[in-house]
Structure 1
Amino acid sequence: MHNNFQKDLVDILKERSAKGQISRRQLMQGFAALMGTSAIGLGATPARAEDGRLVFVNWGGDALDAMDAAFGKPFAEETGIKVFYDGSGPTEGAITAQVQGGRPTWDLVDAEPFSAQALGRKGMMQPIDYDIVDPAKQREGFQWEYSSSCYFYSYVIAYDATKYDTPPTSLADFFDVEKFPGKRSMYKWGAGMWEAALLADGVAPADLYPLDLDRAHAKIEAFKEHIGAFWGGGAESQSLLLNGDVSMALIWNTRAGLLHKDTEGEITFTWDGGIIGPGGIGVLKDNPGGTEAAMKYIAATQEPERQVVLFEMLGNGPSNPAADALIAEEDRWLNPMDPANLPKQVALNTDWYEENYSAALDAYLQIISA
């Protein structure tokens, strides 16, 4: 689910660098904050973790040498432990192969929290040590046994403001093509779309879970004729709106924020009806770098000043609520977890996704591809 989002964050950094919107140093800081790395480049092949080093596995990108890191360098200075980044992608299958092979080379993974939970219950992930990782530096309701929250993102309604005298203010508006004419776009991989359909159909946020998939799929199937495209990646979602292929889309807030800035508000978005997704860090069972070192690394990523770097580069919401106040006042409206934005949204339920995502996605793909 958020592996696609992670890959898109890498793309955003490269795009902003190419446009001259961030410096080379800021690019390095952004990658470091995103990946938690100190030295080796994105897209590197797996390396055996040795004493005094950790390997953090994320979703990759171009090869970069990021010695000046927002997370890794301070962590190395504090502990003497270097963190290296491996971009081969921590899928459930890859994590399973690492652990079952008996000689894992990975320590930390940016895996879906619901995937980490499922794998942890099978004995493949280590429980988060909350004597080291500070639960007070996490948001209430986003603490898991086998995953520590590290950032947040949202699915939001982005729209072409030049086409509407009155902006949409709800998911019901997104599905109302009489009041808001024009083609729409939705996410190809289902997450957040079931919630959007049910909220638009009148389900109260408090009553969302367990999701009524039959009702959600019926809503989406009846709406298909108004869908210009189902997007699979962030750049695609952005271009659909920029090119005028659709006038409204449910997209990641990171891309929506870029659209607002790049078009000077002609294409913008609303937090009303937003659907929050969490990102998390997990630790493999019998990780070669040691449990204590891995947990200390996670604790180091909780520092609010370091999380602000990630927000400034990409628009990710901090997992430590203390970071909210450190964001420049003029930029706080772009933070999905800001106290002014959070009450307008609902959060994905990790427990439900752990149990149901695979089967739900299969049914969703059948509907949108028919």
Structure 2
Amino acid sequence: MKLTRIAGLGLAATLALTAVGCSSPGSGGGGDGDVPASITMVESGGTSGESIKEAYGVPFTKATGVKLVQETPTDLGKLEAMVKSGNVTADLLELGGASVQMAIERDLIEKLDWDDIDPDPMNPESKLEYAFGYQTFALYMGARADAKPVTTWAEFFDTDRQPGKRAIPAYSTYALPIALLADGVKPEDLYPLDVDRALAFLETVADDLLLWEAASQTPQMLESNEAVYAATWDNVRVADGFQVSYDNAVREMSFFVIPKGAKHVKQANQLLHEMSKVENQAVSAELLPIAGPSPDLMSKLSPEIVAEMPAAPEFADTQATYDYQWWADNAAEVGERWAAFKLEKLG
């Protein structure tokens, strides 16, 4: 099963079938009954959470009188535990695309009622049957100001060209794709991932790698000269004295889903409506340079903000995209191999 787009706005027939084919989202509570004092969103936290609060939570509360409670962290395991136990405390939960796919396959999330959400215009890849794509970001290359500039992952990992440590994500979902791009794989040929080739490449540079658990670590790693280059997202900026390159970046989207059995679906849909508004996305982009789902967003932003936005459409042609289905199908096996590799080669 693949993530399914909802094409266009004329969705009456599709949504009618949805209503017949599964339990109504509104049946979980919060439909036309009592208005709750608050709803709960589980999200990734940090600057992203702050931007959600200011850009979407504030106008949502102003429009509905309902407060937004934000909890962190988020992951598929937390969603599954809630749904399986019958104790669903979240009304919206943030997931990556591969996790959305797995949540669909495990029957953990509701189909979205797009008639009730009534969104402003959205890019089609953001408007899915089970998920609302609220931001597109990219893993890109950051560098110290005194380092040689980089525009490719091959240059990024070339220690003869630029000595020093390279900081990369501690996660196979990001480390393996950039290794293959560095080893000469074209962005359009990245999937299916050649895991053997990726690990073989990383073994050649293992002595010069540092792993980070949170991208918020990367500015300090560069500033302290612990690393000369860092693969990061939206944390290393020119405005803070660093170099960046968005060429060859790996694009990905974050989604919000409604857990099966969520208690306040009506209000969750109202919040998603606020997240579809371009004026609210513009507020978010000023706080965090991540692209929202409106096709009109870039026209609302200053050139300075767009220049700091790794996933802006103008950079897309040189970038790779994340294959959610491949990771949903292979995450467990690849994760085991990556854990063993880290222990043996990067420990």
Q: Is residue 283 of structure 1 aligned with residue 258 of structure 2?
A: yes
Per-residue deviation, 1:81: 5.5
Per-residue deviation, 1:136: 7.5
Letter aligned with residue 72 of structure 1: G
TM-score by length of 1: 0.76
Superposed, 1:131-150 pairs within 5 Å as 131-133=115-117, 137-150=121-134
Partner of 2:315: 341
Decide which of 194, 213, 216 is 2:195's aligned counterpart: 213
What SS class does the counterpart of residue 279 from structure 2 fall into?
Answer: helix
Per-residue deviation, 1:348: 1.1
Decide which of 170, 178, 185 is 1:203's aligned counterpart: 185
Compared CA separation, residues 339 and 316, structure 1 to 2 (3 A): closer
Task: Spell out, residue by residue over 1:122-147, the C-alpha distance to the aligned partner (whole angstroms, 9 max, x if none).
Answer: 22101123334568833344443322
- Partners of 1:138 and 1:149 within 8 A in 2: no
Letter aligned with residue 213 of structure 1: V
Q: Is residue 75 of structure 1 aligned with residue 55 of structure 2?
A: no
Letter aligned with residue 58 of structure 1: E
What SS class does the counterpart of residue 40 from structure 2 fall into?
Answer: strand
- Partners of 2:139 and 2:232 within 8 A in 1: yes
Quick check: 175-184 or 269-278, which moved more? 175-184
Compared CA separation, residues 69 and 51, structure 1 to 2 (3 A): farther
Superposed, 1:89-128 pairs within 5 Å as 89-128=73-112
Letter aligned with residue 176 of structure 1: D
Counterpart Cα distance in 2 of 1:220 and 1:241: 20
Q: Is residue 225 of structure 1 aligned with residue 207 of structure 2?
A: yes
Letter aligned with residue 136 of structure 2: F
Counterpart Cα distance in 2 of 1:65 and 1:233: 16
What SS class does the counterpart of residue 253 from structure 2 fall into?
Answer: strand
Q: Is residue 353 of structure 1 aligned with residue 290 of structure 2?
A: no
- Partners of 1:192 and 1:348 within 8 A in 2: no
Partner of 1:270: 245
What SS class does the counterpart of residue 71 from structure 1 fall into?
Answer: helix
Q: How many residues align?
A: 310
What SS class does the counterpart of residue 367 from structure 1 fall into?
Answer: helix
Partner of 2:7: none
- Partners of 2:291 and 2:309 within 8 A in 1: yes
- Partners of 1:56 and 1:83 within 8 A in 2: no
Compared CA separation, residues 134 and 193, structure 1 to 2 (3 A): farther
What SS class does the counterpart of residue 211 from structure 2 fall into?
Answer: strand
Compared CA separation, residues 73 and 242, structure 1 to 2 (3 A): closer
What SS class does the counterpart of residue 331 from structure 1 fall into?
Answer: helix
Compared CA separation, residues 198 and 334, structure 1 to 2 (3 A): same
Quick check: 142-151 or 49-58, which moved more? 49-58
Decide which of 226, 250, 271 is 2:231's aligned counterpart: 250
Per-residue deviation, 1:243: 0.8
Percent identity over the alignment is 24
Partner of 1:14: none
Counterpart Cα distance in 2 of 1:137 and 1:366: 45
5+ residue gaps in structure 1?
Answer: 1-47
Task: Spell out, residue by residue over 1:275-332, the C-alpha distance to the aligned partner (whole angstroms, 9 max, x if none).
Answer: 1121110001121113x44233212201111112221112222222311111112221
5+ residue gaps in structure 2?
Answer: 1-28
Counterpart Cα distance in 1 of 2:281 and 2:54: 12
Per-residue deviation, 1:97: 2.3
